[in-house]
């Protein structure tokens, strides 16, 4: 209820008059300063409101208030009469909130007075605390790693969206919708990798609490996928580099502490999902792009071990959930030469992840010296990284892992679309690019490796997008067909 009354503060200066005649005429009378406001107090419901404060004045006045409070006036200084809108936020706490606005003339000649705002407590439903551990439960997660991998036919990456620090639209892609995911499924992909950021969505950097709203949003996107019966991977991606760029002893303890805290929360929150949801512990962890030192390998693998331990410690379906672990920098040769599988309390539930962007000069290089074509029968190709190299690299993965009953995914691969060429060269480039994607999948399929195409959402030159992110429609259908037709 608003209390409607008028406060009028007036300053009456002493007026002097000359009783006798004066050659200078009458002494000028100084104006009376006025400052009035209505109403002086508000009682606001918990769901918030927009209030109206009427000020009557003949001078310059100003408002002061604590801007960390739950309301915001539309203006804070003016001259003369004014109507101010005060926006009061919804109260999402269980406590009554109180605040006030101080109103005074600019020179503070008049006594200040206050307009008070009282807001009732919110009707808060406190969610029950999720237990850290529940009894192990195999229902819905019966498939071991090899059995699950056999169900994943071909995958696609929701790149440059959920892993953007601070929010999914920060790198110019639109909000992810079910329409997009439906389009990806309709095109023939039955698995999807969702790179995720977490560090920029924390309540604080002390106990690393993830904001509930972000967990809810990730869940919403995950549900778009699993409701479509798509095998869905969530990870900790680049995420500002706190994990990805620090496989060194000096960072090991702090990074592992944070890694454990985040995966404990993620694993608990998604614990009830069945085998359609898979966790991947890291992304491309590396100090640089050179060969790793023994220190790099030891620390990088400790981050993966921390992930496995944190997930298993939450119990429920996570006691048996299939997990994805990475080689150093997700590099094939580093995996073959250095990688050791983490210890796991349950057998045959780990999948290895590597990435493939070879040859670099064709797939992602943008400065001088890139090649526009790849493969036998084409001319503007690199001197390395052709079909025989691709075959040999994937054979290495088969020999080390698949032949030992450890499934492998290529979590990322793609060759970006080039532009600014003649029509003839552009056509040749796109034909060659499609052949590259076809060949990656043909050889991967022959080795029982599962691929996930890297789609960054942008469909112009120097980008790898395949779909319109707003409508889910195919933009580069020939590239999609080159991938999907391998599995028909």
Residues labelled catalytic: 284, 412
DSSP assigned state of 454: E
Angle separating helix axes 178-187 and 212-226, nearest 10 degrees: 30
Residues contacting residue 393 through CB under 8 Å, at least 6 positions apart? 332, 333, 356, 358
Which residues have C-beta within 8 Å of that of residue 327, sequence separation ≥ 6?
A: 334, 335, 338, 339, 352, 353, 354
Residue 443: Cβ within 10 Å count = 19
Contacts of 256 (CB under 8 A, 6+ apart): 302, 303, 306
Q: 3-state DSSP call for residue 126?
A: coil
Largest separation between any pair of C-alpha atoms in the chain: 118
- CB count within 10 Å of CB 83 equals 10
For 315, the 3-state DSSP assignment is strand
Q: Which strands, in side-by-side order, build the sheet including 49-57?
A: 7-11, 33-38, 49-57, 82-88, 71-73
Q: Which residues of 131-155 are buried (b: 16+ CB within 10 A; e: fewer)?
A: eeebeeeeeebebbbbebbeebbbb
Q: How far apart are CA 289 and CA 364, in angstroms?
A: 15
Tokens of 54: 């009427």
Burial class (CB in 10 A: 0-12, 13-18, 19+), 193: buried
Q: What angle do CA 273, 283, 485 make, to 5 degrees?
A: 75
Nearest to 399 by CA among 468, 352, 464: 352
Residue 90, classified by CB atoms within 10 Å of its CB into exposed (0-12), middle (13-18) or buried (19+), is middle
Q: Among all chains, which residue has been given the structure tokens 């389009």?
A: 183
Q: What's the Cα-to-Cα distance from 163 to each of 168, 209, 230, 243, rounded to whole Å?
A: 7, 17, 19, 13
Q: Say if CB 281 and CB 323 are below 8 A apart.
A: yes
């Amino acid at each position: 209820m608003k209390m409607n009354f008028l406060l009028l503060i007036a300053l009456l200066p002493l007026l002097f008059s000359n009783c006798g005649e004066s050659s200078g005429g009458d002494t000028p009378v100084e104006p009376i300063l006025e400052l009035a406001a209505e109403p002086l107090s508000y009682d606001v419901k918990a769901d918030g409101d927009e209030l109206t404060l009427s000020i009557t004045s003949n001078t310059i006045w100003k408002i002061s208030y604590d801007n960390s409070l739950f309301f915001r006036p539309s203006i804070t200084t003016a001259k003369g009469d004014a109507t101010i809108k005060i926006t009061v936020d919804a109260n999402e706490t269980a406590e009554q909130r109180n605040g006030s606005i101080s109103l005074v003339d600019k020179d503070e000649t008049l006594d200040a007075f206050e307009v008070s705002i009282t807001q009732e407590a919110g009707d808060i439903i406190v969610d029950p605390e999720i237990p850290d551990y529940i009894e192990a439960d195999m229902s819905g997660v019966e498939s071991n790693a090899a059995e699950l991998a056999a169900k994943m036919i071909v995958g696609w990456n929701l790149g440059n969206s959920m892993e953007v620090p601070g929010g999914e639209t920060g790198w110019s892609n639109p909000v992810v919708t079910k329409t997009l995911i439906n389009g990806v499924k309709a095109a023939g992909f039955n698995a999807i990798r969702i790179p995720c950021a977490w560090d920029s969505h924390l309540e604080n950097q002390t106990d690393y609490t993830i904001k509930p709203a972000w967990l809810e949003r990730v869940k919403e996107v995950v549900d778009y996928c699993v409701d479509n019966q798509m095998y869905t991977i969530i990870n900790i991606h680049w995420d500002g580099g706190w994990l990805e760029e620090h496989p060194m002893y000096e960072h090991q303890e702090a990074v592992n502490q944070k890694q454990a805290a985040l995966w404990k929360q993620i694993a608990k929150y998604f614990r009830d999902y069945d085998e359609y949801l898979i966790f991947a512990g890291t992304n491309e962890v590396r100090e640089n792009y050179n060969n790793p030192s023994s220190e790099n390998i030891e620390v990088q693998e400790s981050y993966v071990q921390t992930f496995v331990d944190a997930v298993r410690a939450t119990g429920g379906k996570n006691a048996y959930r299939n997990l994805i672990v990475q080689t150093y920098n997700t590099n094939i040769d580093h995996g073959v030469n250095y990688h050791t599988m983490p210890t796991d309390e349950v057998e045959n539930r780990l999948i290895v992840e590597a990435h493939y962007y070879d040859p670099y000069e064709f797939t992602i290089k943008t400065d001088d010296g890139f090649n526009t074509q790849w493969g036998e029968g084409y001319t503007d190709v690199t001197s390395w990284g052709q079909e025989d190299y691709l075959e040999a690299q994937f054979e290495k993965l088969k020999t080390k892992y698949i032949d030992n009953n450890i499934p492998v995914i290529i979590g990322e691969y793609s060759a970006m679309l080039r532009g600014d060429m003649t029509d003839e060269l552009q056509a040749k480039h796109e034909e060659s690019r499609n052949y590259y994607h076809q060949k990656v999948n043909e050889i991967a399929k022959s080795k029982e490796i599962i691929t996930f195409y890297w789609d960054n959402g942008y469909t112009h030159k120097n980008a790898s997008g395949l779909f319109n992110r707003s409508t889910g429609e195919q933009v580069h259908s020939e590239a999609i067909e080159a991938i999907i037709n391998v599995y028909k």
